Structure 1
Amino acid sequence: MIDPNLPIQSKLQHHQIQPNVRQPARSETFSQLLQSERHQLTISKHANERLTQRGIQMNQAEWNTIHEKLKEAGKKGITDALVVTKSAALVANTKNQTIITALNRQEASSHIFTNINGTILLDS
């Protein structure tokens, strides 16, 4: 039984329940996990369909380069970029690291791109 003459603070401390803290399975901290999740390159459903329809294929090294350049462009204030590679022209949002649409280079040569504020050339 709790003594009614004890101060309220002491009563609360006496009856506090220790939370069951679950440790992450990995050695990553929550902050590191959040940081890595937030900075992954995403391909929208629309862009994925266009890549498939147009037969555009890129290897992992090319996707990694695009991802790095989008992060760099975002740091320079670019929000929507046109990414031009040997085989494709991609429109991407730098803030959420998402490829929005994709065209092959032949199609891109006859298009006008709007609503972009930067271009990344990866033609080599």
Structure 2
Amino acid sequence: MHRIQIQHVPLQPLLQPQKSLKTNTIQTKQSFLEHLQEATNSQELKISKHANERLIERNISISDEEWQVVTDKVFEARSKGVNQPLVLMEQAALIVSAKNATVITAMERTEAKNQLFTNIDGTIVL
């Protein structure tokens, strides 16, 4: 007949007392909240693939300073409830999703004169 052997494995002690675990959990939540706030406060516009193609195709150049002004105004508009503004600049017209912080499309300002813009709920004139 087969003999069955049973080995007793000692229980491993907890690395930290239960009280410390709660403290670490609270610290983790706080650091997560701080990280989340930093991420949501990051005010940077992304450019969609489509918008980037249009900027290149139409040879539209926007300086870093101008992008910063556009970014600031888009986030200001978003704080006032605007979700999809039309941004009119000297050299370009941009449709931006303020909710997603993304430039959706771009065109030359002269090209924008003959366009009908729909699904926008605000305009930023720079």
Aligned to 1:101: 105
**What is the percent sequence identity of the aligned residues?**
41
Aligned to 1:30: 35
How far, CA to CA, are the matches of 1:93 and 1:82 in structure 2?
Answer: 9
- Give the deviation of 1:111 after TM superposition: 0.3
Tell me which amino acid in the other structure corresponds to 2:50. H
SS of the residue aligned with 1:47? helix
Tell me which amino acid in the other structure corresponds to 1:49. E
How far, CA to CA, are the matches of 2:81 and 2:35 in structure 1?
Answer: 27
Is the aligned partner of 1:117 residue 2:102? no
Unaligned stretches of 5+ residues in structure 2? 1-9, 22-33
How far, CA to CA, are the matches of 1:43 and 1:102 in structure 2?
Answer: 10
How far, CA to CA, are the matches of 2:36 and 2:74 in structure 1?
Answer: 22
Is the aligned partner of 1:53 residue 2:57? yes
Aligned to 1:15: 14
Tell me which amino acid in the other structure corresponds to 1:58. I
Q: Where is the helix percentage greater, Structure 1 or Structure 2?
A: 2
Count of aligned pairs between the two proteins: 102
- Give the deviation of 1:121 after TM superposition: 0.0
Q: TM (normalized to structure 1)?
A: 0.73
Q: TM (normalized to structure 2)?
A: 0.72
How far, CA to CA, are the matches of 1:93 and 1:111 in structure 2?
Answer: 19
Tell me which amino acid in the other structure corresponds to 2:111. E
Tell me which amino acid in the other structure corresponds to 1:97. A
Deviations 1:2-56 (A, max 9, x none): 6xxxxxxxx9xx514699xxxxxxxxx62454235x5321000000000000000
